[in-house]
Each structure stands twice: as structure tokens, then as C-alpha cells.
Structure 1
């Protein structure tokens, strides 16, 4: 049986958070954002999604 050990994050040299407790995590930009899409692209995505959902509904009703 292994000896008891601590799981606390206050140990020196522990791998984990490498910033101060009061400092927030740095922001990361998302790989894509609907807010950055043009209006035409948003409408295109909406039409494709709508067609897929209608196909699903009509298939389920068969």
C-alpha cells in the first residue's frame, strides 16, 4: 500500500496553475464566431440548418 499523500495545490513545484490566484486566465479567441460572419453567411447557415431540421422532422413522420 502506498503512503498517504496530499492533493493540495499549495505544494511548491506542483504542476497546475501558473498564475496568481487573483489574476484571471488569459482570454483565448475562439476558432470561429457567428458574430464575425457576414449577414449572407449567417443566412446561408440558417437556411441549411432549417433544411436539415425539416428533413429530420419529415423523415420522423414517415
Structure 2
């Protein structure tokens, strides 16, 4: 008779790098560094306006 609790599920942690090395880089879906200059300025303006809106609403 076999013990029902003595079975393996095959859960083996897999890592392809050593414990001292960092994780390998992953491809980013988008990067602000790859955006055109005008797109970066527009994004910065939108973020700035959003933050100012939060500040002004909080001061009410």
C-alpha cells in the first residue's frame, strides 16, 4: 500500500542565472527614450498638467 501523501507534483524552481547575478533585461513594450522629442515634451506637459490639477483640487 502506498502513502497518498508521498507523491511529487513536479514543482521545481527554475532559474537560468546564478543567485549573485541580476535578472536578465526584458524588452519594454515602450520606452520614453525611443519617443520623438515632441512626443516627450507633450507627455511631460500632460503629466505636469495632471499633477497641477491634483495640487489645485487639493488646495480647494
Q: Calculate the TM-score normalised by the size of structure 1.
A: 0.61
Aligned to 2:42: 44
User: Which aligned runs of 4 or more in structure 1 are off by greater than 6 angstroms?
Assistant: none
Q: 1:14 to 1:60 in 2, by over 3 A?
A: closer
2:14 to 8, 12, 17: 17
Unaligned runs of 5+ in 2: none
Q: CA RMSD in A?
A: 2.8
Number of residues of Structure 1 aligned to a counterpart in Structure 2 = 52
TM-score, normalised to structure 2's length? Answer: 0.63
Sort the Cα spacing of 1:14 and 1:44 in 2 relative to 1 into closer, same or farther, 3 A.
Answer: same
The CA distance in 2 between the partners of 1:28 and 1:58, in whole Å, is: 38
| Unpaired segments ≥5 residues, structure 1 | 4-12
